[in-house]
Amino acid sequence: MRKSVPLSSVYQLLEPGPVVMVTASCDGKDNVMTLSWHMMIDFEPPVLGCVISNRNYTFDMIKKTKECVINIPTADLIKKVVGIGNISGKKINKFKKFDLLKESGEKVQVPLLSECYSSLECKVIDMTMALKYNIFILQVVKAWIRPRKKRALMIHHCGKGKFVIDGKIVKLLSKKK
Amino acid sequence: MRKSVPLSSVYQLLEPGPVVMVTASCDGKDNVMTLSWHMMIDFEPPVLGCVISNRNYTFDMIKKTKECVINIPTADLIKKVVGIGNISGKKINKFKKFDLLKESGEKVQVPLLSECYSSLECKVIDMTMALKYNIFILQVVKAWIRPRKKRALMIHHCGKGKFVIDGKIVKLLSKKK
């Protein structure tokens, strides 16, 4: 069961730098890719930047449809996350290969990944930097989490197949968001 | 003692999404700020994007000098990291207030933070997106780490003073960098 999240809280999901899975859909075909190159740009409405190589199948799909979904997986999905990152969707249906459950979005025509902790429906609002740096500027138009009994542990990529999983939580008085 | 790191490995430091401390220097004054909104853009030469609000003192410094240093702290420095993030350097010398050790860079006229695990000397190569989104595009021109006996644990910000510290490491066969 998914639960709507206030758009003002989206930065709390993306700011820690988790590995995400980006879904896109174009001409009746869906695809999914693994991505770590993203950052928050503004709080509300939540705007983020992400870098998707123009060699990736997803680049052309998003360029054409101006839509995608940023799905945040947890540590238990790490094998799927890496497998999805290792192959291209040009010739293979990754949803079938990795047995991915998908569901419909509310604001975009792109599938959400049901197994992920969070799914952020996004619209491309700026492609000025897409040619030079492969940067897409996205606005999150709808945000979901799927609450769990256990703490949702995110994955962070350190390169060359090395990942670090969320550890200890520390709380300190911060005047900032 | 610091050790030079190949520029091709820089993404391994930044990709996991650590909280960083950005140092800048302008008109004989140094400043430091805490930042989590950054992402890798290219591997080699390493290019990254970061978002620095134009309300921050550092924004004008970097805009003017086109230089900064991205310093990556470890969990033991978390109190300084949060303290530095809570106040502006406009009226206060944060280096004195937080007792920060600094050292000279090799390619930039900006102090490096000696207590941090890594310091990345950066030049601004593109400010096209600085006015609209506060995005600076930086190229890392020299990268340092300060090797330790213990594993260097990074800090990730989850918003509102909640931080998550690096936990378990997982290694999986990845075909990607």
Task: With residue B65 as reference, give the H or E element that holds it.
Answer: helix B57-65
Q: What is the pLDDT of residue B153?
A: 98
Chain B residues with CB under 8 Å of A156 CB are 15-17, 156, 166
Question: In this complex, do B128 and A128 lie within 8 Å of one another by their Cβ atoms?
Answer: yes
pLDDT of residue A174: 81
In chain B, which residues have their Cβ closer than 8 Å to the Cβ of A166? 156, 164, 167
CA-to-CA separations, A153 to A31, A43, A149, B29, in angstroms, rounded: 24, 23, 12, 41
Instruction: Search chain B and give the residue with CA nearest A133.
Output: B41
pLDDT value at B176 more than 80: no
Residues A82, B174: C-beta atoms closer than 8 Å: yes
Q: What is the pLDDT of residue B173?
A: 84
In the structure encoding, which two tokens stand for residue A105, read together? 């979005």
CB neighbours (10 Å) of residue A140? 24
| Mean pLDDT, chain A, whole residue set | 96
Q: How confident is the model at residue B36 (pLDDT cuts 50, 70, 90)?
A: very high
pLDDT tens for each residue of B96-146: 999 999 999 999 999 999 999 999 999 999 999 999 999 999 999 999 999
pLDDT tens for each residue of A37-67: 999 999 999 999 999 999 999 999 999 999 9
Beta strand residue intervals within B18-161, DSSP E: 20-26, 29-35, 38-42, 47-51, 67-72, 102-103, 112-113, 118-126, 135-145, 155-157
Q: Which of A67, A66, A45 is nearest to A111 (CA)?
A: A67
Q: What is the mean pLDDT of residues B78-104?
A: 95
Q: Rounded to whole angstroms, how far apart are CA atoms B177 and B175?
A: 7
Residues in contact with A26: Cβ distance below 8 Å, sequence separation at least 6, in sequence order? A60, A61, A64, A65
Q: pLDDT at residue A176 above 80?
A: no
Residues of chain B neighbouring A159 (CB-CB closer than 8 A):
9, 11-12, 15, 177
> What would the DSSP string read from start to end of A94-146?
HHHHTT--EE--SSSSS-EETTSSEEEEEEEEE-TTHHHH-EEEEEEEEEEE-
In this predicted structure, the answer to whether residue A151 has a pLDDT above a threshold of 90 is yes
Token output for B57: 């003192």
Q: What are the chain A neighbours of B36 within 8 Å (beta carbons)?
A: 15-17, 40
Confirm whether pTM is higher than 0.90. yes
Structural domains in chain A? 3-165 (2.30.110.10)
Tens of pLDDT, residue by residue over A1-40, are 899 999 999 999 999 999 999 999 999 999 999 999 999 9
Mutate to test the interface with A, among B10, B19, B41, B81 (most CBs of A within 10 A): B41
- Sign (positive or negative) of CA dihedral B73, B78, B80, B85: positive
pLDDT at residue A173 is higher than 90 = no
A62: three-class secondary structure by DSSP? helix
Cβ A39–B42 below 8 Å, yes or no? no
- The dihedral sign for the CA sequence A90, A81, A68, A42: negative
Q: How far apart are CA B135 and CA B35, in angstroms?
A: 13
